[in-house]
Amino acid sequence: MTRIALLIEYDGTNFSGFQIQNHKSSIQGELEEAIKEFTGQKTRIKYAGRTDSGVHAEGQVISFDSKVDRDLRQYIEGINYYLPESIAVKEVNVMLDHFDPRKHALSRTYRYNIINSEKRYPLLNRSHFRVVNKLNISKINESINLFVGEHDFKQFSGPLPKGINTYREILDICVSKEQNVVQFIVKGKSFLRRQVRRMVGTLVDIGLDKVSYDQLKSFLDCSNKPIVYTTLPPQGLCLVNVEYPDIFYKNGEKI
């Protein structure tokens, strides 16, 4: 058996999320069916991140064990043949037998795309969220680094299982604007459910003068619960990269 890792890109618009759900279309379900068609063996994949319904990915990583002895390039072509147009295998690697894409990830990087304009851009609706009022990027930059480091992010999470550890470490976060496109890049070791969308939503509120620097600081200190959470919609969010230690790449190459 060979442990195979695939780099996956997908448009999450028409899926119920990454993880398999009963009687609903999922990214995981499509991938497992395509792998079964190509290899002739039923498999349950492992994955780096469980993206929500409507969230996209450029750098999702999955792994599975294969008995098929074929050139790696054939894995890309063969699995893609059975996938819908909204999902694609981009790269393939042979990994060490104990590699786990979730447990062994050093970091995950997400991007959130915003169109900051009074005008509508229908062709960007699937990948951007539109904010009509002008964002104050300078104010956002004054507050954005408050997120860096380890914090209790329970104020920024959706519903969670009882007893889960809500402390997470943000390694880097930044915002950029080019013409009317605003991008937030958030890098962390792992994230709680809806954490990135609520973090960026709070920063957008700061840029709209709805939340202050001091209020954000108190949210992170868990000393003041926000009256209204701004959870941005899923279509602007994309998993862009997952980083791993070099030691897991059996052939010395990186995804």
Residues recognised as catalytic: 52
Distance CA 26, CA 24 (A): 6
In three state form, how does the secondary structure of the chain look? CEEEEEEEEECCCCCCECCCECCECCHHHHHHHHHHHHHCCCCCCEECCCCECCCEEEEEEEEEEECCCCCHHHHHHHHHHHCCCCEEEEEEEEECCCCCCCCCCCEEEEEEEEEECCCCCHHHCCCCEEECCCCCHHHHHHHHHHHCEEEECHHHCCCCCCCCCCEEEEEEEEEEEECCEEEEEEEECCCCCCHHHHHHHHHHHHHCCCCCHHHHHHHHCCCCCCCCCCCCCHHHEEEEEEECCHHHECCCCCC
